Structure 1
Amino acid sequence: MLKGSVKDESRVYEARGRHLFRGEADYSFVFQDYNCTVEFFVSPFLVQESEIVDKMGTKKETLRLDLVGKSSEQYKGADIIVFNTGHWWTHEKTSKGEDYYQEGSNVYHELAVLEAFRKALTTWGRWVEKNVNPEKSLVFFRAFLPHISVDLLCSGGQWNSGGACDSEIEPIKNETYLTPYPPKMKVLESVLKGMTTPVTYLNITRLTDYRKDGHPSVYRKQSLSDKEKKTPLLYQDCSHWCLPGVPDSWNEILYAELLVKLNQLG
């Protein structure tokens, strides 16, 4: 989208010459005429994914709640940093928290996901306080829409049990159908309030919750057989968002906040 708005697109390129962007963990796009680089780092938990070896010699995945993601060294000096986490904390292994969360050499046999989320965000917050110079860098944290919200937006049941949203053409208008405010958001807000480094909070959770009409649904794949089309579980997608669509609103909010901050800096 950014590349499409410049005068000479040939002067925008990925620093490593990459052309495919689904299998790599980071990308760096150089806008040569603007002395600007836009980078993307995959760090879904903001803390490090790791592994341990048990007594039987078997490797097992863990999540180091006490260490920030390994990519942090690459972006700590950026002028603008936008963080996000939340969605991956709803997956089964994170929700159950059995022999998965690790601090130091200790792996918790059981740990509630909210407590693990709090520990991870606290680790992230400490890293920001130590490594980000607020006089040089603007820090943003974009909120998230948890899985449970999108599950409940679909008509006819949840998205993974027969629900569908391909017939939805308008947002939710009755607020009683909106989901309760996510507990993880309250944890995030508590951590942000305790920080001294300024972080602009982009809370897009509630506004996105209205948009039951914004999912890819059956339209994400056009080459389905008639048999597949009769089995909604094979193609119904109510947990992601169309582009163009809802994520553009998130970007507009980020852009507006950037303009405000830059005006304040003079």
Structure 2
Amino acid sequence: MCLKFPAGGNSGLRDSIHSNSRSVMDYNVSIDFIRSPFLVQEWKFMSKAGIRRETLRLDMIQSSSVKYQDADIIIFNTGHWWTHQKTYKGDSYFQEGNHVYDKLEVRDAFSKALRTWAQWVDSNINTTQTMVFFRGYSASHFKGGQWNSGGSCDGETQPIANDTYLSPYPWMMRTLESVIQTMKTPVHFLNITRMTDYRKDGHPSVFGQTEEFRRPGMVQDCSHWCLPGVPDSWNELLYAILVSSQK
């Protein structure tokens, strides 16, 4: 069996943390993690002024797709990279064909990218051989700003117990759900958004550094998750679906 994760961060696959591509062989199973933060292709070109520029090709699936289209199981994921400043501002960053948008709202860009992904899946995946999953967007818990503007989540030792403190359901997941509904390929949606929203205590925060290197105001990691921890539940959900599909 071949199980592959084309995804951004937070894969939940322990052997693949901080790697672009990693294979793990055991029990006659190969598992690959393939880094693809946006699922569509990051692009570089020379402008008329001779300046090297970066764009995101919303109309082109990332070239790494050739590495996983014949897998038995594919688990897609994208999300957090769409909230980064360059992406979210959308100024002269998004491209379709030869056209670079002077300004494009990130919601529109995300929708275009997911439709490109959906068209690629419908055209290239053999559903008699391959099961397709899409794992949703996991919550972050910055307080007082984002990761680069004073946001923090250290000192959290308990999950959220009162639902009124949960965040609104992300627009990205509503967009994903609407795209999946238009596809001819069956896609198993692993919706982990709400379950992660409860776990404000599950992030590395400042504790990714040893105590001697921690400093007031240091950047905190509240977008990723401690291992073992929350991502283990994602793997259990995946396992439950795989087991039930064999019955």
TM bin (shorter chain) = 0.7 to 0.9
Paired residues of 1:94 and 1:100 also in contact (CA < 8 A): yes
Return the letter of the residue paired with 2:206: V
Return the letter of the residue paired with 1:60: R
State the match for 1:240 in structure 2.
224
State the match for 2:25 in structure 1.
30
Return the letter of the residue paired with 1:175: D
Asked which structure has the greater RCO (Cα within 8 Å, sep 6+), the reply is: 2
Return the letter of the residue paired with 1:206: R
CA deviation string 1:190-222 (max 9, x = no partner): 000111110000000011001011111232111
1:254 aligns to 2:241 (yes or no): no
Return the letter of the residue paired with 2:23: S
Shift of 1:241: 1.1
1:124 aligns to 2:117 (yes or no): yes
Shift of 1:235: 5.0
Paired residues of 1:47 and 1:65 also in contact (CA < 8 A): yes
Paired residues of 2:135 and 2:192 also in contact (CA < 8 A): yes
1:214 aligns to 2:202 (yes or no): yes
- Distance across 1 between alignment mates of 2:69 and 2:152: 42
Give the direction of change, closer, same or farther, for the CA distance of 1:67–1:199 in structure 2 (3 Å limit).
same
- Distance across 1 between alignment mates of 2:39 and 2:239: 23
Q: What SS does structure 1 have at the residue aligned with 2:222? A: coil
Q: Determine which structure has the larger helix proportion and give its number.
A: 1
Give the direction of change, closer, same or farther, for the CA distance of 1:96–1:254 in structure 2 (3 Å limit).
same
Shift of 1:237: 2.7
Paired residues of 2:94 and 2:104 also in contact (CA < 8 A): yes
Root-mean-square deviation over aligned CA pairs: 1.9
- Distance across 1 between alignment mates of 2:173 and 2:58: 18
Which stretch shifts more, 68-77 or 253-262? Answer: 253-262
Paired residues of 1:159 and 1:236 also in contact (CA < 8 A): no
1:56 aligns to 2:49 (yes or no): yes
1:46 aligns to 2:34 (yes or no): no
Return the letter of the residue paired with 2:199: R
Shift of 1:224: 2.5
- Distance across 2 between alignment mates of 1:163 and 1:21: 23
Return the letter of the residue paired with 1:199: V
Q: Percent identity?
A: 54
1:144 aligns to 2:144 (yes or no): no
Return the letter of the residue paired with 1:234: M
State the match for 1:178 in structure 2.
166
Give the direction of change, closer, same or farther, for the CA distance of 1:164–1:21 in structure 2 (3 Å limit).
closer
TM-score, L = length of structure 2? 0.88
- Distance across 2 between alignment mates of 1:138 and 1:219: 37
Unaligned runs of 5+ in 1: 1-18
Paired residues of 2:141 and 2:153 also in contact (CA < 8 A): no
Count of residue pairs the alignment pairs up = 232
Give the direction of change, closer, same or farther, for the CA distance of 1:63–1:205 in structure 2 (3 Å limit).
same
TM-score, L = length of structure 1? 0.82
Q: What SS does structure 2 have at the residue aligned with 1:141? A: strand
Return the letter of the residue paired with 1:252: E
Q: What SS does structure 1 have at the residue aligned with 2:31? A: strand
Give the direction of change, closer, same or farther, for the CA distance of 1:84–1:177 in structure 2 (3 Å limit).
same
